Amino acid sequence: MADTIGKEDRKVSEPWDVPELIPVRMLNEFTYCPRLFYLEWVQGEFEDNADTREGRFQHRTVDRERERVERDPETSEAGMIRTTSVLMSAPEEGLIARMDLVEFDGHTAVPVDYKRGRVPDIPGGAWEPERVQLCAQGLILRENGYNAKYGVLYYVESRTRVDVPFDDELIHRTRSLVQELRKTAARGQIPPPLQDSPKCPRCSLVGICLPDEVNYLAQRVAAADRIRRLTPPRDDRVPVYVQEQGAYVRKSGDRLQVTKDGETLADMRLLDVMELNLFGNVQVSTQTVRELCQRDIPIAYYSYGGWLSGITVGMGHKNVELRLHQYGVATDPVARLDIAREIVAGKIQNCRTFLRRNHTDPPKAALDELKRLRNKARRASSLDALLGIEGAAARVYFSHFAGMLREPWDWDFTGRNRRPPRDPVNALLSFCYALLTKDALAAVLKAGFDPFLGVYHSVRYGRPALALDLQEEFRPLIADSVTVSVLNNGEIKEQDFVRRAAGVALTEKGRRKVLEAYERRVDTSVTHPVFGYSLTYRRVMAVQARLLARRMLGEIPRYVPFVTR
């Protein structure tokens, strides 16, 4: 009996409509790790690392479509034809592939797949995902009328060819994996992470997958001390802030340049840029915007006074599945309240800890009240009740905020006010909250969310409600901390503020000082209270956005906020 897949078997009416043709590269990913395949193909996730960049570099010679004919020296007649970057499909097999190299000799064809690194020291000299991928290319060639009996894996580092015969066992395994792939994709449920697998540390999507973290929170593993830190603690790229009015940002080759009146103010590699932040009347070239969009580098726009006006990103995240679950949670009062309780309880806990650590004479009554309100938030019966609890906690917290300030001159701070801030402390808080909103917005966009649909903050036109949800637990840890530190350390003085009518704002020099302090804070390493490893605050925010996604997708039973001890 022929081991084939009929077209009727490939038509699905499940949550995700699987395309007729499966890319052979995705078959490789599925064989290696079904969860990796699902993240990449169904949810549209991708992240570069050193291995993927090196792989692209090693493929550069076979990624261009070209043909070379080799002649037989005896007869001078055309013999083998080698063609690179061959795109071919097989509708009956349900496969499509762009093959690195195919060696044609009449009706015989041999697919050659380039692999970085050395030949693995295992029987046959090839791992199963590579053998399956090569066999799938052979099946495509066969359906197109060629005689393909074997393929070749070429290992670039060791410059060695390894022949892979297409025997009945490998063909059966390949076709079975194609069927399993289709069922997994059509099911609309992400496979669980691998457990303590050596495959995870080198995977480029490990910071998105969070295998150890998800397994622990989903109660698949017992001890938190077994969680590996599989991603770097910090991002080596840096944010770029441009405040100089009339400055112009342009792209020159692979570099980002900031100029004004013919003078170069800054010049850096695009590889080193995390984000571009523009304040007031700063111009940016169309070529720069396009390049940053292609590189998935956000551009944030602020008013001259520091109000976040908007953000430019590329085509947007392809994870439609996550957004569908997000819409489901947003319209489910029970699910919304479940997540919102954790968000508010986490914020109140962090406010209490920050007040206890920084107040000159920690007020016991206030600390006790914040503890009571935190516990009450976890039992709130509705979102309206939760809003009331958060408001009560904020009044207690800010009524004692001045007790954390040690500067001798009068800051005239009696509580939180804004639009516009009426005193220097509130001007600092508002500016830091705007910076925090930008970072939270970048984190939820990177995770694939719709940033305007929150679970705690209500939908309001133009307001990034989900970003505001995410930033709640980080307000005291980042924004309030920066405000207190720049005042207590004497980094900000009276002359760094300007008063206009009833409002107070930072000067350009004052904003620069706060930006430096803010970046120091988000780049500070902190031990994660649940997972036990160290990350910068900016990385922690990205992890929390991913955990929120895992909660909405139903992978973990509850969202766990980040709280310091």
pLDDT tens-digit readout, 202-252: 888 888 889 989 988 988 776 666 788 887 787 778 889 898 899 999 998
Same domain, 251 and 225: no
Residue 401 lies in a domain: yes
The verdict on 431 and 371 lying in the same domain is yes
Question: Quick one: tokens of 304?
Answer: 């001259």
Q: Binning pLDDT at 50, 70 and 90, where does residue 556 land?
A: very high
Mean pLDDT estimate for the chain = 85
Cis peptide before 211 (omega within 30 of 0): no
Give domain status of residue 563, yes or no.
no
Q: Which of 268, 285, 312 is the last residue of a domain?
A: 312
Q: Are residues 116 and 217 in the same domain?
A: no
Residue with tokens 């030949």: 119
**pLDDT (tens digit per residue) in 507-536:** 888 888 999 999 999 999 999 988 888 999
Do 517 and 408 belong together in one domain?
A: yes
Residue 149 belongs to a domain: yes
How many domains is the chain partitioned into structurally? Answer: 4
Cα 380–chain centre separation: 31
Structural domain of 254: 238-312
Question: How many CB atoms lie under 10 A from the CB of residue 77?
Answer: 7
CA distances from 275 to 212, 219, 287, 300 (A): 29, 36, 16, 8
CA distance 295 to 445: 14
Q: How far is Cα 340 from Cα 457, in angstroms, rounded to an integer?
A: 9
Q: What is the pTM of this model?
A: 0.82
3-class DSSP state of 288: helix
On whether both 206 and 171 belong to a single domain, the answer is no
Domain boundary among 187, 203, 220: 187
Q: Percentage helix, strand, coil, to 5, in the chain?
A: 45, 20, 35
258/361 same-domain check: no
Alpha carbon distance 181, 451 (integer Å): 31
Q: Which residue has the tokens 């449920």?
A: 189
H helices of 461-507, in order, are: 465-471, 481-488
- For tokens 């992470």, the residue is 193
Q: Are both 305 and 345 inside the same structural domain?
A: no
Please check whether residues 249 and 214 belong to one and the same domain: no
pLDDT digits (tens, 9 = 90+) for 13-59: 345 678 899 999 999 999 999 999 999 988 888 765 444 445 444 44
Contact 282, 247 (CB under 8 A): yes
Whether 246 is covered by a domain: the verdict is: yes
512 domain-assigned: yes
| Pair 256, 356 in one domain | no
Q: What is the CATH number of the domain that holds 139?
A: 3.90.320
Residue 562 lies in a domain: no
Kindly state whether residues 413 and 500 are assigned to the same domain.
Answer: yes
d(CA 503, CA 38): 51
Boundary (domain end) residue, out of 231, 246, 262 = 231
First CA to last CA distance, the chain: 64
**CB 517, CB 439: distance < 8 Å:** no
The model's pLDDT over 432-473, given as tens digits with 9 standing for 90+, comes to 999 999 899 989 998 989 999 999 988 776 688 999 999 999
Task: Tell whether 2 is covered by a domain.
Answer: no
Do residue 344 and residue 487 come from a single domain? yes
Residue 256 shares a structural domain with residue 360:
no
Find, among 41, 39, 18, the residue nearest to 193 by Cα. Answer: 39
d(CA 180, CA 538): 38
Structure-token pair, residue 447: 């995770």
Task: Give the CATH number of the domain where residue 277 resides.
Answer: 3.100.10.20
Neighbours of 370 (CB within 10 A): 23
| Domain presence at residue 375 | yes
CATH number at residue 440: 1.20.120.920
Q: Is the distance from CB of 183 to CB of 167 less than 8 angstroms?
A: no
